[in-house]
Structure 1
Amino acid sequence: MEYVIVDGRILERATAKVDIEDRGYQFGDGVYEVIRVYNGKMFTGKEHLNRLVESAEKIRMQLPYSPEQLEEKMEELIAKNELETGTVYMQFTRGTSPRNHVFPGADIAPTFVAYTRKVPRPEESMEKGVRAILDEDIRWLRCDIKSLNLLGNLLSKQKAAEAGCFEAILHRGEKVTEGSHSNISIIKDGVILTHPADNFILNGITRQKVLEICRNEQIPLEERAFTLDELSAADEVFSSGTTVEVMPVVEVDGKPVGNGEPGAVTRKLQALFKAEIERRCGKL
């Protein structure tokens, strides 16, 4: 039996329903988060839930729960579904009301849904590395909000899939922003370069942990936009994200990155990130 949350209540998935006039369905008017679960425990759960609240505030939506209350509900759902390794997904929309571009009144409560999914760690891909393509970043200018409006991301991800690649690396003109579903960093002469956390990218929680690790381990780091030429000349490239952890990119648009193998700095980051997971969630 699989269980989900709808408006705060745990239900059997088969009985769960959302109204067809829900604003998430009609407008993408909402926000979401995905949290990794290892050994039945949420990894960086508090960070994700705080970002959820921040995203809601940016679209002028008041959530009916605090991060602490949401954490309790997610833990209850994880336990109910006996999830060991996977993800927990949650989203809030601006609720159900007759279709109108103007926000509904304060009497309309947000719609809250959540569910879990078994997702193994991508160990083979992390060991061998993955391929990527380049694609123009056609998304809106508030990529810092983790909203339900993901059509631009989906179109880029589909291009990558059709090319037999794992990820699409997005760029606005000559400046690289991020991936279709992950943050992108490069390494040149031992220095990690990654786009600053502004409105052009989502400030990934995994990205934040990687930067924290770099500072703690005194790994050289620069937060600045890098160019397509710098990407092409990089010694190493990696993507980072909730489900991909630290993922080596060994080929971009058919051209090998470095020697075409995951590099030493990326390997070090993978090991340090795994150690952080185990510190919080137990042995993997």
Structure 2
Amino acid sequence: MTVAAKPRLTVLLAGPRGFCAGVDRAIKIVEEAIRRHGAPVYVRHEIVHNRFVVESLEKKGAVFVEELDEIPADGQPVVFSAHGVPKSVPAAASERQLYFLDATCPLVSKVHREAERHFAAGRHLLLIGHAGHPEVVGTMGQLPPGAVSLVQSVEEVARLVVPQGQTLAYTTQTTLSVDDTAEIVAALQTRFPGIEAPVKDSICYATTNRQAAVKAVAARAEMVIVVGAPNSSNSVRLREVALRTGAPRSIMVQRGAELDPSLVDGLATIGVTAGASAPELLVEEVLAKLAERFDVVCEEVTVAVEDVIFRLPRALAGA
């Protein structure tokens, strides 16, 4: 009896994809803190938005909490997530004499410093971002209440109420859609011609590169699979970008076990990418799942090569 040959499937692998330097640094901070201080090491909020990463760190001795009051005064370290935190959080940690390590992505920290610079210069800050996202909460929390106005869409620009007689500046969440953000910026500049722009684009290099890569893949793919978590802003944006730039369909899965390969039946070419908080192991799981049903041929579609490395905090120097 002959076994029917599997249908051929070309998988376009978007590059870059997966971990960025900020995510890699944040995970290493938790791992090194556990190595040096032993378990438990407390982490305020998910260190990055990926359940696989969180559960892997839990197995090593990390304990994830939402607020500092969940942490006992046992002398063990607490790590702040890569998304950044309001100034009130390290202040509260210091008041309780907690030993804390800040895993905020350095590119998010640059946005924080820029917000402080605008405030010191007397400007009112307009922050382009998504309400409730930890990064937005952290950035707005760098300044006093009322010093920042959140802008989520082009439509909101027309309704914005800003302080009279105060100069304006804008900055952005680092994980937004490059194209959507450009439209909001254009609307802001039209309504407020004198508004000051960031010294450098606030959307991070990793977000920009991953969106450029998924655009290159989507133009040739009949479907794009995004490996990432539903609460990961940059992963959700990748799915949206894929749909807007040519892919007839785009789905998101957190790992291979979630993928129903029958969704790919009848297709000849698909794209696969991963959000900045998804490790390559999860992409490999998706490819293995597809290989159960198809004769998979992978093609790398690389639009940029990343060599960014962020150092660990001084307290962990030499790790």
Q: Which structure carries more strand by proportion?
A: 1
Q: Which protein is bigger by CA-based radius of gyration?
A: 2
TM (norm. structure 2) is 0.24
TM (norm. structure 1) is 0.26
Q: Relative contact order (C-alpha < 8 Å, sep 6+): which is higher?
A: 2
